[in-house]
Amino acid sequence: MRAGGLASTAALVRKEIYSYAISPVIYGIGVFFLLVVNIWLFYFQRFFAGDTASLRGWFAAFPPAFIIVIPALTMKCWAEERRLGTMELLLTMPFSEWNLALGKFAAAFAVLATFLLLTVPLPLSLLPLGDFDGGLILGQYAGVALLGASATALGLFFSSLSRNQAGAFVGSAAALLVVMLADQANQILNLPRPAAAALNFLSLNFHFESFFRGILDSRDLAFFILSTLLFLFLTARVILFRKWK
For 155-184, what is the mean pLDDT?
89
Identity at 137, one-letter amino acid code = I
What was the pLDDT predicted at 213? 83
Name 47's Cβ contacts closer than 8 Å, sequence gap at least 6.
41, 57, 58
Say yes or no to pLDDT of 37 above 80.
Answer: yes
pTM: 0.90
Say yes or no to pLDDT of 3 above 50.
Answer: no
Q: 175-200 pLDDT, tens per residue?
A: 999 998 887 777 777 777 888 888 88
Q: From 41, 56, 166, 62, select the one nearest 112 (Cα to Cα).
A: 62
What was the pLDDT predicted at 29? 95
Rg (CA), the chain: 19
85 pLDDT band, cuts 50/70/90, is low
Q: What are the residue ranges spanned by the domains of the chain?
A: 3-244
For 37-60, what is the mean pLDDT?
77
Percent with pLDDT over 70 in the chain: 89
More confident residue, 245 or 134: 134
Say yes or no to pLDDT of 221 above 50.
Answer: yes
What was the pLDDT predicted at 225? 95
Name 152's Cβ contacts closer than 8 Å, sequence gap at least 6.
70, 73, 74, 105, 108, 109, 112, 228
> 86-100, 151-165, 230-244: which has the minimum mean pLDDT?
86-100
Name 65's Cβ contacts closer than 8 Å, sequence gap at least 6.
33, 36, 37, 40
> 5-19, 78-92, 101-115, 198-212: which has the minimum mean pLDDT?
78-92
51 pLDDT band, cuts 50/70/90, is low
